[in-house]
Amino acid sequence: MPFQIVRNDITKMHVDAIVNTASPVPGYGAGIDKAVYKAAGEKELLARRQEIGAIEPGNSVITSGFDLPARYIIHTVGMPWQGGECGEEAVIRKCYKSVFEVALENDIESLAIPLIASGSYGFPKGIALRIALSEIEAFLAARDMDIYLVVFDEKAFALSSEFYGDIDEYISDNYVEEKVEEEYHTFGRRLFAAAEDAPMMAQSMARSLDDVVNNLDKTFMELVFSFADARGLTDVEVQKRANLDRKAFSKLKCGTTKNPSKATALALAIALRLNLDDTKDLLSRAGLALSPCSKQDLIVRYFIEREVYDIYEINVALFEHGEQLLGSQNA
């Protein structure tokens, strides 16, 4: 998958390279830096680091992974948080850019990266996450690479409520497990309310009905491309916005994969910036539906209703709630 959030010890990641938040001078500090030295082989890594010498904040260098599962370590130097008025954000953004540049120079295809500067350097995690998501998204818009944002402990990543304070309340209000009977009792009230709203909805309903009639005979992917054409999106733009692996998207496009997984179908709906009705229509072409019994579906619905179509932010919320992320290598 092009981008994933995983909970793991970064030193145990089986990737081409991991990123270490390094000390500017040879030696190691606390947190990830110390863990990387211990796992890689302190003596060998320190000797190589001494050969490299000092690293300026925002810059990155690469070394062997030594005893790590990863082949390489990319060492990047951040900057402590000082209130936000000393150019800290610019330095951390430069860290991500220089990491990606080094990765490309060394033909890295898979990269595990921590939330830079959010540990001992004291960056507010909300700001650190915003920087990470925007820089990763900008990079992947133009390049192909499997990037894992690695989180070690649960407390370090409780951030969706900071971005969207009412998301847990929304899930609580809408999530049902065994409320079928309650749903039947309230069905009549919903019909009555819908009837009251009918005059205001008539025009939009007519337009939606026209769209449905015109698209009745389309398969799932035919409808995807119909929406994409209407929005002026290329296949590559749809694939990247959906956080889909290029091969997986190609299989869907060519018909090798007939029907997508739920995560892939939702990812494509987000990529196309579909409203709720169009999302339901698209899902139905693959025999799928939005369910109030699925927290994944409710979280995606929450963002669609608010017209927030950033799949990276949606995946943060899904990750925090223990749900499957959108997009998949195996569509």
Q: Which residues are catalytic?
A: 33
Phi first, then psi: give them for residue 63, nearest 5 degrees.
-135, 170
Query: Distance from first CA to last CA of the chain, Å, rounded?
Result: 10
Work out the number of other CB atoms within 10 angstroms of the CB of residue 245.
Answer: 20
Q: How far apart are CA 273 and CA 250, in angstroms?
A: 20
Q: How far apart are CA 326 and CA 331, in angstroms?
A: 10
**b/e per residue, 41-56, with b = 16+ CB within 10 A?**
beeebeebbeeeeebe
Location of structure tokens 């145990």:
12
Sequence-distant (6+) residues with CB within 8 A of 317 are 160, 163, 164, 167, 299, 302, 303
Amino acid, single-letter form, for residue 145: M
Please name every residue paired with 7 in a beta bridge, in sequence order, or none if there are none.
151
Joined tokens for residue 31: 């947190």
Q: Where are the alpha helices (DSSP H) in 41-87?
A: 42-52
289 in Cβ contact with 283 (< 8 Å): yes
Does an H or E element contain 305, and which? helix 295-305
Amino acid, single-letter form, for residue 97: K
Amino acid, single-letter form, for residue 141: A
